[in-house]
Amino acid sequence: MEKNKILGIVDHTLLKQTSTWEQIKELCDGGMKNNTASVCIPPYFVKKAKEYTEGKLPICTVIGFPNGNMTTATKVFETEDAVKNGADEIDMVINIGLVKEGKYEEVLEEINSIKKACNGKLLKVIIETCLLTEEEKIEMCKVVTKSDAEYIKTSTGFSTGGATLEDIKLMREHCGADLKIKAAGGIKSFEDAEEFIKAGADRLGTSRLVK
């Protein structure tokens, strides 16, 4: 695959706690120069980034990040605030404790509540694969397929592991045909990116490919 085609499905990402506006601005510059799918940034910077990029680049942000165990009301407020500030795409973290308790209907309800708050914007659901059993991953593929979200996403990049090819293949096998997959965490090279795309990823979350 050509590098520019790969960059076109990359969410150019900077979510470190130490992120400054200068770094976010540099990220946006890289995203615009390389025509990435979006920049994925902390909610605090969304409004400023939206103004800075002047509509030349989709702005993605994260909700319930990175642990996911806030109340649904808190996540809904975060989402509404992000959309109001100009976010074009939302990456939410599920409540992993609910998955561990087998409360999949509650997880589904939360995803759909957040999707409603997206007001038509794209929603990606982070299931944090490194913390789930294979059975839980399969169940979450079914839940997100049933939901109103557009994407299922592997990882926050802030837990014990990132995306693996095995997880992408598993997700492709158990997700509905219309549900897209985002691989994030640990994608270091264009060779890595190609392997993830071949395995079934539609979007990649990484900061390294533009660099």
Residues with active-site annotation: 91, 153, 182
φ, ψ of residue 11 to 5 degrees: the values are -90, 105
Question: Alpha-carbon torsion 30, 208, 181, 21, what sign?
Answer: negative
In the chain, the amino acid numbered 142 is K
**Who's near 171: CB < 8 A, 6+ residues apart?**
137, 141, 152, 154, 181, 200
120: left (phi over 0), alpha (psi -120 to 50) or beta: left
Q: Which two tokens stand for residue 68?
A: 């996911």
Q: Which two tokens stand for residue 180?
A: 């897209």
The string of DSSP letters for 146-194 reads: HSS-SEEE---SSSS----HHHHHHHHHHS-TT-EEEEES---SHHHHH
φ, ψ of residue 126 to 5 degrees: the values are -85, 120
